[in-house]
């Protein structure tokens, strides 16, 4: 509707200019004819005196009509300008509010999805096969843990792999040793997911790292969740190792961006993004700058909102969290082109 109002304003302006220009041209021609008629009347002497009066009146009429045309042009131009300004602001406000809601919806879906991941890692860390392989890493227990992790992966297709690391940081069991053979035996003691997992206080705690690429997993973009594995699988017993689960981020993020409710025309002129707390791009509809570029978002300390930058609207919404998952300060963001003349 707002687009239609602006298009109508532009069309009225165009037609008005065109018609007033035509009036001006006709009146100029009429004025020239009146001048020529007065000259001819002067040559005719007394016989042309009456015609001279008519020609003079015609010239004055042409001038009056030209003046009215100029006033009409000025009045319409002023009102059209006001209509354009009001319509443009209405368009920005309408789209800005709508895009903010869509950005919030996208990040809320992410929150619900990632909350489930936090439940998964805490649950699987109590699995007997995971506990047993850390308490007694025999070949039989490693085989059992590998089989159990592989079964989980077949059921939960959103994960690339699951790793079990002992207290020294050495990975002793994974769910996909055939696909990612370099994971077995790798030392992860200096990796954030392992160190933060070993620092959890109880089995109710977990840690999640921002999106990053994992070379061992083929350079895939992953969200890594982790928690400590505890003796006997009990909530408050001593830590004996850590479980890390690697969420396959790229296809899940793409599905969420694809699901944002924009029309084909809106989508063609928009860039849809997910940003981390530092405004680093972690997903983008155009595939550019993922995990490398910082988006120049200006929030003015608002959790959500929109603003206009040049010919574009930028709308954003910060993660509200979900259930016990507080979120990582991620944001949904839509950069869209405002309709041009």
3-state secondary structure of 258: helix
CA–CA gap between residue 266 and residue 252 (Å, rounded)? 22
Q: Work out how many domains the chain is built from and give that number.
A: 1
Residue 247: inside a domain, yes or no? yes
Per-residue pLDDT at 220: 95
Write out the two tokens for 280. Answer: 């680093």
Residue 67: inside a domain, yes or no? no
Contacts of 133 (CB under 8 A, 6+ apart): 141, 142, 144, 145, 164, 172, 173
Per-residue pLDDT at 320: 83
By CB atoms closer than 10 A (0-12, 13-18, 19+), residue 340 is exposed
Residue 191: inside a domain, yes or no? yes
Residue 236: inside a domain, yes or no? yes
Q: Per mean pLDDT, which range of 69-83, 156-170, 206-220, 265-279 is the poorest? A: 69-83
CA–CA gap between residue 330 and residue 324 (Å, rounded)? 16
Describe the crossing of helices 139-155 and 128-135 by its angle, rounded to 10 degrees. Answer: 150
Write out the two tokens for 79. Answer: 């009102």
Burial readout 191-223 (b: 16 or more C-beta within 10 A, e: otherwise)? bebbebbbebeebeebbbbbbbebebbeebbbb
Residue 208: inside a domain, yes or no? yes
**Can you tell me which residue has the tokens 């200019």?**
17
DSSP letter at 182? Answer: G
CA–CA gap between residue 238 and residue 218 (Å, rounded)? 33
Closest CA to 134 of 119, 120, 149: 149
Asked if 250 and 274 count as a contact pair (C-beta separation under 8 A), the reply is no
Q: What is the mean pLDDT of residues 299-320?
A: 93
Residue 12: inside a domain, yes or no? no
pTM: 0.73
Per-residue pLDDT at 85: 63
pLDDT at 42 over 80: no
Between 340 and 187, name the one with better pLDDT: 187
Asked if 316 and 306 count as a contact pair (C-beta separation under 8 A), the reply is yes
**Can you tell me which residue has the tokens 């010919």?**
311
Q: What is the mean pLDDT of residues 175-193?
A: 97
CA–CA gap between residue 188 and residue 199 (Å, rounded)? 14
Per-residue pLDDT at 50: 62
Q: Per mean pLDDT, which range of 9-23, 38-52, 160-174, 239-253 is the poorest? A: 38-52
Residue 204: inside a domain, yes or no? yes
Residue 104: inside a domain, yes or no? no
Domain interval for residue 180: 117-251
CA–CA gap between residue 89 and residue 85 (Å, rounded)? 6
CATH code for position 141: 3.30.450.20
Q: What is the mean pLDDT of residues 101-125?
A: 91
Contacts of 30 (CB under 8 A, 6+ apart): 58, 59, 61, 62
Contacts of 236 (CB under 8 A, 6+ apart): 202, 203, 230
To which H or E segment does residue 85 belong? helix 49-124
Q: What would you report as the CA-atom Rg of the chain, rounded to the nearest whole angstrom?
A: 36
Per-residue pLDDT at 341: 43
């Amino acid at each position: 509707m707002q687009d239609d109002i602006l298009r109508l304003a532009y069309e009225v302006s165009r037609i008005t200019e065109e018609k007033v220009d035509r009036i001006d041209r006709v009146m100029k021609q009429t004025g020239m004819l009146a001048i020529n008629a007065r000259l001819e009347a002067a040559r005719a002497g007394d016989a042309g005196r009456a015609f001279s009066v008519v020609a003079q009146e015609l010239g004055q009429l042409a001038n009056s009509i030209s003046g009215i045309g100029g006033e009409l042009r000025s009045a319409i131009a002023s009102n059209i300008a006001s209509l354009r300004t009001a319509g443009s602001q209405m368009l920005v406000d309408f789209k800005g509010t709508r895009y903010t809601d869509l950005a919030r919806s996208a990040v809320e879906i992410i929150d619900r999805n990632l909350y489930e991941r936090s439940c998964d890692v805490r649950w699987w860390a109590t699995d007997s096969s995971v506990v047993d392989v850390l308490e007694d890493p025999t070949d039989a227990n490693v085989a059992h843990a590998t089989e159990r992790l592989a079964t989980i992966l077949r059921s939960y297709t959103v994960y690339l792999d699951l790793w079990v690391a002992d207290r020294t940081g050495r990975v002793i069991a994974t769910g996909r040793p055939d696909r990612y053979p370099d994971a077995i035996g790798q030392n992860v003691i200096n990796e954030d997911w392992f160190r933060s997992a070993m620092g959890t206080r109880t089995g109710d705690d977990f840690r999640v790292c921002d999106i990053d690429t994992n070379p061992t997993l083929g350079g895939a973009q992953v969200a890594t969740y982790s928690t400590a594995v505890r003796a006997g699988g009990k909530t408050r017993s001593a830590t004996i190792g850590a479980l890390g689960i690697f969420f396959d981020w790229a296809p899940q993020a793409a599905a969420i961006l694809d699901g944002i409710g924009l029309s084909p025309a809106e989508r063609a002129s928009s860039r849809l993004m997910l940003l981390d707390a530092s405004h680093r791009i972690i997903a983008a509809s155009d595939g550019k700058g993922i995990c490398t570029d910082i988006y120049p978002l200006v929030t003015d300390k608002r959790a959500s909102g929109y603003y206009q930058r040049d010919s574009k609207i930028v709308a954003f919404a910060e993660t509200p969290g979900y259930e016990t998952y507080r979120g990582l300060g991620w944001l949904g963001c839509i950069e869209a082109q405002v309709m041009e003349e």
